[in-house]
Amino acid sequence: MISFGPTEEQELIQQTVHDFAQSEMRERARPCDEKRELPDEFLQKSWELGLVAGAIPEAYGGGGIGRSPVTNALVLEELAWGDVPLAAAAMTPALFVQPLLDFGTDEQKKTFLPLFAGSRFHAASLAILEPTFSFEVSNLRTLAEKKGSGFSLSGKKRLVPLASTASHLLVVARGARDGVAGLEAFIVPRDAKGMKIAAEPEKTLGFQCLPRFRVELDRVEVSADARLGGDRGIDGARLLAMLRTASAALGLGLARGVYELALPYAKERVAFSQPIAQKQAIAFMLAEMQIEVSSMRHLVWKAASLLEHGADASRAATLALTYANREVMKLADNGLQIFGGHGYIREYPVEMWYRNARALTVTESVSAL
Amino acid sequence: MISFGPTEEQELIQQTVHDFAQSEMRERARPCDEKRELPDEFLQKSWELGLVAGAIPEAYGGGGIGRSPVTNALVLEELAWGDVPLAAAAMTPALFVQPLLDFGTDEQKKTFLPLFAGSRFHAASLAILEPTFSFEVSNLRTLAEKKGSGFSLSGKKRLVPLASTASHLLVVARGARDGVAGLEAFIVPRDAKGMKIAAEPEKTLGFQCLPRFRVELDRVEVSADARLGGDRGIDGARLLAMLRTASAALGLGLARGVYELALPYAKERVAFSQPIAQKQAIAFMLAEMQIEVSSMRHLVWKAASLLEHGADASRAATLALTYANREVMKLADNGLQIFGGHGYIREYPVEMWYRNARALTVTESVSAL
Amino acid sequence: MIDYTLSERDEQVLAAVREEALICRKYARYYDEHEEEFAPAELPEAKDFKNPFALLGKRDELDSSMGVMSMLVTAGQTWGDYTVRMRRGTGGLGNAALRASGTPEQQNRWGAKTLAMAITEPGCGSDSKAVQTTAVLDGEEWVLNGEKIFVTTGCRAEGVVVWATIDKAAGRAGIKSFIVMKETPGFEVTHKEKKLGIRADDTAAYVFRDCRIPRDHLLGGDESIPKEGAGGFKGVMKTFNMTRPAVAAIGLGIAQAALDFTRDSLAAEGIEVDWSAGPHARSAAQQALIEIEADIEAAMLDVLHATWLSGESKPNNLEASISKAKGGEIARTATQRCLELLGSLGISQDFLIEKWFRDCRITDIYEGTGQIQRLIIARDILGYSAAELS
Amino acid sequence: MIDYTLSERDEQVLAAVREEALICRKYARYYDEHEEEFAPAELPEAKDFKNPFALLGKRDELDSSMGVMSMLVTAGQTWGDYTVRMRRGTGGLGNAALRASGTPEQQNRWGAKTLAMAITEPGCGSDSKAVQTTAVLDGEEWVLNGEKIFVTTGCRAEGVVVWATIDKAAGRAGIKSFIVMKETPGFEVTHKEKKLGIRADDTAAYVFRDCRIPRDHLLGGDESIPKEGAGGFKGVMKTFNMTRPAVAAIGLGIAQAALDFTRDSLAAEGIEVDWSAGPHARSAAQQALIEIEADIEAAMLDVLHATWLSGESKPNNLEASISKAKGGEIARTATQRCLELLGSLGISQDFLIEKWFRDCRITDIYEGTGQIQRLIIARDILGYSAAELS
């Protein structure tokens, strides 16, 4: 049944996360960006929302409310409305936990899920991006080769969030087969022999408060049971669909934030003895923002609902991400334009959002899950 | 020296052609479109402007003012301002003559140029497009195979203007080498054995007054001296650069026509008790049109001037065509929008220009030279 | 809940609609080339098909709402062809107006007739408050005088809902809707417009010369002129809440047909989208196919959202305009881009896509242009009056 | 004639400019990260380079005009880096104003100084006629009071051309330009703005408190207030005719740098444009590379056209705004699209392109936003006054 209404439970979660974004993220975002720092206090507070642990079955000490890609999309929109890099930081452990829930063997779940059931923030992460300009996920350069009963992993990874504090990384590599079908994921402890995590996080455009690291794997040997999903392996297409949907949801939240800030500003800002919002050029820009925020949201929700049904969401997720990446950038760009010179100053958040928007939407994307 | 000023001589030609477009094309365009007919009288009148014969050296009975791609671009803009399909019809013989001037052997020039030096319109044409949706000029399916001392041509061509009345077709085929470097052109008389020209012209979106035909070549045998340029062959990249620049020039003229019609209309048309031009939404659309007409023109002129210098114009021509194809469509589309419901009626020319704009800009293009 | 799956019953209805739609395509070219003729209200092949709206029957909780399904059915029908349809039902825009604002008596009396909607006049485009057609009460009759253009299904409709002012001084407040049946003296269908597309569709021009109708033909029956000047007009505007998404759906059905044809034609030549791979694995054409598909899907979801809201009896004025603005824009660009991908073969009239390109272009014009929709949206989100944002 | 070739002499100048420009890149990251510092007016490596504007010397008939070349030199310099340049010459926007409107005496006196231009105020963005800063004549001195923000090169300039009104009631007509040197009492540089990009560039905020300057510091010397209310302001606007294309050139030089980096980086990974092949032979990335290059080239040609006209002493107000509108738009989109093509590696601060993306964004904002430029263009082509199209 085609329906656009969140459940009451989802509306409650939306509200809770929105309040958190308002009280804990909005004010932190600027100083964290300027100082390039991520307060542990924030991670801990976000952890207490139970966004990661909630999805873990009670059997493993989790909240047991179960995985819901739709609820997840709603959560990510609200968090991103607060601040995208802080949202990505808070959800980094999910980059490890959710694939584990979806593809892990019972053995793997039993071993690793309890790590995330505690009351303290526990970092784990996902390593997928690589240092090439024409990075293409269906053609990874990090290789997983059979070595005895286990595997040997070699390659370079980039922008691995919280890698320096993560207990484990989920390393995505190219297995025996070509293309997305050949994607494999391996659970690698941070101190694994042959894996080198850069001492300093990478400096990038935007995302300045989220430490993301380069990781080099030089014939890192892992046992067969480190292969996520065991002999079955993972469903690479589904993993990508999840990542793309999540990334589009973050873009949606960012875009909505820009729109909701630009609207009142345009009504207050007077030029030529009139609020600029009374000029069609500005008013129509705002109308476009409203149109695109709605349109993006529907595409994100559709992809999420297909994931929830366990259906093939590759098409829907690619549509949602392709659309969102284009519109989020345009929207952040126009938002800055509405603020004019003030938008270019590090005073209002629009210039920060402009940077985050570009950084978010160029990665095919692994900012959250 | 970078300079944007047409010579006095060029300004004179511009004016002459503009007057012709105004008096002989603007009014004819609608009935010719509705009746799908091309009056001989028009072709003859256009012929008398000497646009084709002028470039032919006096030695061959031509005007001897020489080939000037820049002047040609100026002429095409004005003709297209009048009507694109009528412009393409008038210039069809140039599709044969100009490659002959640029690439032909003395022998070929001596044999064929005099045909176009007379006072009567003489039809000849160019066959290059093929019946595939993913038509790619660097990968033609029409093949030219060596056969004895000559060649054997086989393949299907489409949208060959005036093919049924042309004395000769210049058939572009794929020779020994791959890609654009392998392009060959052959002079084929209309009655050549094995060449079948469809009885009826193709019906297409737009261009309704210009008869364009399907042509099938089934092992058409031609002698070695039918190969344009003899043993040297042709410079395929330059031929394409010429075609692309010319097509962009037609687009420019069409776009300018839309802009110049929409501007006064927007000032007259009253809605909500104000001329619609006083609304920023409409005024900014018109400003965009002015911006794009200027921008397009500069790109076209630059490509033409490189051709005139005999320099490599492939890059400039592709830039001009890519840009023009995008902007011409957008401009024709917005032009129709400014006319609202009246733009959708076959009353004002905008709906006709909308059709012609799409038809012109989807062909990588051989509408004129 | 948030869900986008269709129930089995939903799927069956839409499958039947698509099957019917394909039959329409056989006739599409003919009626495009014979603009003076009208496609029959029912095609020979149609008689065995049930009316899809009848097929919908009552919706149970697993089925999509009537509003949502009617949009999918509409898009499914125009996916075949816009101007040739199996059955138009009481498809006139006037019927929507009757349903929204008519008295019970009026609904019973005219509900079964096909009613066109006559708003636009030569002088005014989207400026509905500038209506010049007048209605003067003379005893127990209204006397109508004026001209209307762009009246959709105006030739074949059995009657029409006409906008006329009963008091020019009152501006919008003075505008009322009147039901006029075809046989009424003084009501003349002057001509059928010649158009870029939707040629078989009848778009008529009307003239009313001292056309007299009974007093009870005033839609809704309310002759008062609200002080605020909003009421009467609002009543009229309300009808747009249902028609804006429907008009968008009409255009998007055509756009979808163009995309499907483009996708299949290129696939036959080896160009296909890999939904799992990323951007650097794509050709320019594959990238364009993805963008066009995303645009159409986004616009269609906006349509479904607007109608879903009405099903939940939630206000949808903003969402209706969003769906019309987006749908109108995508109907333009999607068909333009599809033709670009197909190159010179796509413009051949051997195929219908060039017709769909022409048909689609009306979407962003009628029932309020994209500019008007954005104005409505901007006023809504900014809380501005027409005076504050004009 | 219509020509786009450069003479040998033109090429030599531009080659030297590019060589200089590459040196600036060594310093670009440092000054981006040390916003509080200023790049030296001249870098150590610079001393052996001649000033490109000096290199231009006199232009003979085969050379491009001074105006055209100055735009190419400007773009060539920012192609290296915007905020770090070898030498700024008398680069202040105030100098353009002085050249355009100053008396001979004023030009002699201040021509050699670097003069900033102070127009914008906290209250008014592009709305220059809303200037609140006042200048009151007190005996033989003007007394200035008011605040200015976004003053380009405001910290390092030796003086500034300030817009102030001598008669608020007169609106635009009352606005005059005054030259105030740094040491003048009552003239304070309050702070340097913290920005998204062009961080080393000094954008200052000024305050004038009872700042007294001699009567002859009124630019142009004309104290009268034209009746029509145009004159005085026009004089001021005139200065924009030269600066709008220059500002566009600044942005396009950066955009070109971004494109060159993107092209080379992708070429190194095997992605290159084939200029002869058609669209169906292209990858999505190749298509984007072509479109971005076309956009930048079109915008740069608009810039050259506007300055070429001024060289021919033809009016260029319309063309100046076209070049600024287009340049500003492309500076935004070209850098955005380049980063999109480079994926997640492009945003690394190991490279300068992410900085260029930030630097470029100012282009569509200062010296009149894209919206203001379109307004100017629309009024010009429609023949509308500011009242008719606001």
| pLDDT tens-digit series, residues B180-201 | 999 999 999 999 999 999 999 9
- Non-local (6+) Cβ contacts of A113 within 8 A are A56, A57, A60, A61, A62, A97, A100, A101
Note the pLDDT of residue D153: 83
pLDDT band at residue C232 under the 50/70/90 scheme: very low
Q: Could you say which of B333, B344, B363 has the minimum Cβ distance to residue C195?
A: B344
Chain B residue with Cα closest to C129: B272
Neighbours of chain C (3+ CB pairs under 8 A): A, B, D
Element (H, E) at D210: strand D203-214
DSSP per residue over A286-311, as a string?
Answer: HHHHHHHHHHHHHHHHHHHHHHHTT-
Position B234 pLDDT exceeds 90: yes
**Helices and strands per DSSP (H, E), number in chain A:** 11, 10
Residue B96, amino acid: F
Mean pLDDT throughout D145-150?
91
pLDDT band at residue D59 under the 50/70/90 scheme: confident
Task: Name the minimum distance, in Å, from the CA of C204 to any CA of chain B.
Answer: 12
Neighbours of chain D (3+ CB pairs under 8 A): A, B, C
Element (H, E) at B215: strand B212-222
**pLDDT tens for each residue of D291-313:** 999 999 999 999 999 999 988 98
Note the pLDDT of residue D231: 44
- C-beta of residue C327 within 8 angstroms of C-beta of residue C84: no
- Non-local (6+) Cβ contacts of C60 within 8 A are C9
**pLDDT tens for each residue of A198-244:** 999 999 999 999 999 999 999 999 999 999 999 999 999 999 999 99
**pLDDT tens for each residue of D223-250:** 888 765 444 444 454 555 878 999 999 9
Is A281's CB within 8 Å of B279's CB?
Answer: no
Position B38 pLDDT exceeds 70: yes
Q: Select the more confidently predicted residue: C91 or D349.
A: D349
Residue C117, amino acid: M
User: pTM of the predicted model, to two decimals?
Assistant: 0.94
pLDDT band at residue C128 under the 50/70/90 scheme: low
Active site residue D367: yes
Mean pLDDT throughout B82-110?
97
Residue C132, amino acid: Q
Q: Alpha-carbon Rg of chain D, whole angstroms?
A: 22
Dihedral, C169, C171, C174, C175 alpha carbons, nearest 10: 140
Q: Can you tell me the distance from the alpha carbon of D190 to that of D122, in angstroms, rounded to the nearest whole number?
A: 13
Position C193 pLDDT exceeds 90: no
Q: CA nearest C22: which of C362, C260, C271? A: C260
Q: Could you say which of B269, B273, B340 has the minimum Cβ distance to residue C369?
A: B340
Q: Can you tell me the distance from the alpha carbon of D303 to that of D321, in angstroms, rounded to the nearest whole number?
A: 9
pLDDT band at residue C233 under the 50/70/90 scheme: very low
Q: Can you tell me the distance from the alpha carbon of A130 to that of C39, in angstroms, rounded to the nearest whole number?
A: 59
Q: Can you tell me the distance from the alpha carbon of A343 to that of A351, in angstroms, rounded to the nearest whole number?
A: 6
pLDDT band at residue C89 under the 50/70/90 scheme: low
Mean pLDDT throughout B269-277?
91
Mean pLDDT throughout B275-285?
97
Mean pLDDT throughout B224-249?
97
Dihedral angle sign, alpha carbons of residues C381, C382, C385, C386: negative
**How do strand A143-147 and strand C134-138 relate by DSSP bridges?**
unpaired
**pLDDT tens for each residue of A93-132:** 999 999 999 999 999 999 999 999 999 999 999 999 999 9
pLDDT band at residue A170 under the 50/70/90 scheme: very high
Position C172 pLDDT exceeds 70: yes
What is the longest distance spanned by two Cα atoms in chain B? Answer: 77
- Non-local (6+) Cβ contacts of D363 within 8 A are D247, D248, D250, D251, D252, D254, D327, D328, D331, D332
Residue C286, amino acid: Q
Q: Can you tell me the distance from the alpha carbon of A25 to that of A78, in angstroms, rounded to the nearest whole number?
A: 11
User: What is the 3-class SS of A181-209, one letter each residue?
Assistant: HHEEEEEEECCCCCEEECCCCCCECCCCC
Mean pLDDT throughout A345-357?
96
Separation in Å, CA C246 to CA C91, C251, C307, D104, D282: 11, 9, 9, 69, 38
Q: Can you tell me the distance from the alpha carbon of C162 to that of C176, in angstroms, rounded to the nearest whole number?
A: 8
**pLDDT tens for each residue of A137-167:** 999 999 999 999 999 999 999 999 999 999 9
Tokens of A237: 């297409």
Q: CA nearest D78: which of D42, D38, D114, D25? A: D25
Is C339's CB within 8 Å of B347's CB?
Answer: no
Is D270 at the interface with chain C, CB within 8 A? no
ipTM of this complex prediction, to 2 decimal places: 0.95
Note the pLDDT of residue D87: 55
Q: CA nearest A329: which of A361, A296, A352, A351? A: A361
Report which listed range, B186-195, C124-133, D86-95, is most confident: B186-195
Q: Can you tell me the distance from the alpha carbon of B63 to that of B119, in angstroms, rounded to the nearest whole number?
A: 12
DSSP per residue over B26-51, as a string?
Answer: HHHHHHHHHHT---HHHHHHHHTTTT
DSSP per residue over B280-298, as a string?
Answer: HHHHHHHHHHHHHHHHHHH
Contact list, D126 vs chain A (CB under 8 Å): 271, 340
The mean pLDDT of chain B is: 96
- Non-local (6+) Cβ contacts of B264 within 8 A are none
Position D353 pLDDT exceeds 90: yes
Q: Can you tell me the distance from the alpha carbon of B17 to that of B71, in angstroms, rounded to the nearest whole number?
A: 11
Note the pLDDT of residue C173: 84
Beta strands in B132-182 (DSSP E): 143-147, 150-161, 168-174
Dihedral, B186, B187, B192, B197 alpha carbons, nearest 10: 80
Contact list, A309 vs chain C (CB under 8 Å): 5
Tokens of B232: 């040297």
The mean pLDDT of chain A is: 96
pLDDT band at residue C231 under the 50/70/90 scheme: very low
Q: Could you say which of C277, C295, C305 has the minimum Cβ distance to residue A298?
A: C305
Is C381's CB within 8 Å of A2's CB?
Answer: no
Q: Can you tell me the distance from the alpha carbon of D255 to that of D231, in angstroms, rounded to the nearest whole number?
A: 37
Position B148 pLDDT exceeds 50: yes
Q: Percent of chain D scored above 70 by pLDDT?
A: 93
Q: Could you say which of C2, C280, C301 has the minimum Cβ distance to residue A299?
A: C301
Q: Percent of chain A scored above 70 by pLDDT?
A: 99
Q: Can you tell me the distance from the alpha carbon of D70 to that of C114, in angstroms, rounded to the nearest whole number?
A: 69
The mean pLDDT of chain C is: 90
Note the pLDDT of residue B79: 98
Q: CA nearest C284: which of B318, D301, A255? A: B318
- C-beta of residue C179 within 8 angstroms of C-beta of residue C110: yes
Query: Which of B31-40, C46-55, C292-301 shows the lowest mean pLDDT across its residues?
Result: C46-55
Note the pLDDT of residue A318: 97
Total beta-carbon pairs less than 8 A apart between chain A and chain C: 159
Element (H, E) at A81: helix A69-82
Is A284's CB within 8 Å of B279's CB?
Answer: no
Is A240 at the interface with chain C, CB within 8 A? yes
Mean pLDDT throughout D172-181?
92
Q: Can you tell me the distance from the alpha carbon of A54 to that of A63, in angstroms, rounded to the nearest whole number?
A: 4
Q: Can you tell me the distance from the alpha carbon of B130 to that of B159, in angstroms, rounded to the nearest whole number?
A: 8
Using CB atoms and an 8 Å cut-off, which of residues 322-381 of chain D contact chain C? 343
Q: Helix, strand or coil for residue A144? A: strand
